[in-house]
Amino acid sequence: MYTLNQIIVLLLCLVFFNLSYTQNEKDQENKTTVVIDPGHGGLDSGAIGVNGVYEKDIVLNIAMEIIRLNNIMENPMEIYLTRYSDTLISIRNRTELAKKLKADVLLSIHCNASRNPKAEGAEIYIWDGESDFSRASILLAYHLQRVFSKKIGLKSRGVKFANFQVLRGLYEFCPAVLVELGFLSHFDEATFLADKKYSSYIALVIIEILWKYFEK
């Protein structure tokens, strides 16, 4: 049998644990969850630059920098990658991960290539259908386009609509945007994208854009 004092202590403990559990749960709910999807990987190199760099490596570098920089911020977002190494993940598994993590947004990162060596600039894609998340995706896409042009100096090729699987797979679930950061077939852009200093800078710009988007 417990004494009255022991029961009071037990009750206080229960209240305390319950409060801290609720607080943790609340903090978790208030966290913004972002899934960054570095395109390609493994056997799929993506585009190959005029300087020999692989798209899969550039986008993974930038994604890893996003994780590193976010983790040293005062109020970091919950950011996950669809891949953390040079491995090929199916598109379906990429979107499934975003669903499982209850992502607030998915940002798929790619680099472009063209037969025309003069083609340059950033393109931002959103799904070409309509859903509850179309407006949010469009807002983020225009924001990305504006800031890439202003802060990175990438020529703006516009926000485009496409039926890409990685975008379509999330149309009922969360906003999803795919960015083509520049052309690996363009000498200056390939040089810029292959430079790790610039990867860090691009990562920082993307974090700033996400912060602004979620108004943190």
Q: Which residues of the chain form contacts with Zn ion (CB under 5 A)?
A: 39, 46, 110
Residue among 39 and 121 whose Cβ is closer to Zn ion: 39
What token pair was written down for 215? Answer: 């108004």
Q: What is the dihedral of CA 213, 46, 112, 173, to 10 degrees?
A: -30
3-class DSSP assignment, residue 210: helix
Residue number, 113 or 136, with CB nearest to Zn ion: 113
Least distance CB 177 / Zn ion (angstroms): 14
Least distance from Zn ion to the Cβ atom of residue 104, Å? 23
CA 85, CA 118: separation in Å to the nearest integer?
31
Is residue 61 within 8 Å of 106, Cβ to Cβ?
Answer: no
Residue of minimal Cβ distance to Zn ion: 110
Instruction: In angstroms, give the least distance from the CB of 50 to Zn ion.
Output: 16
User: What is the distance between the alpha carbons of residues 116 and 118, in angstroms, rounded to a whole number?
Assistant: 5
Give whichever of 41 and 175 is closer to Zn ion, judged by the CB atom: 41
Q: Compare residues 41 and 46 and give the one whose CB is closer to Zn ion.
A: 46
Distance in Å, CB of 188 to Zn ion, minimum: 19
Burial 187-208 (b: 16+ CB within 10 A, else e): eebbebbbeeebbbbbbebbbe
Nearest residue (CB) to Zn ion, 39 versus 169: 39
Least distance from Zn ion to the Cβ atom of residue 160, Å:
14
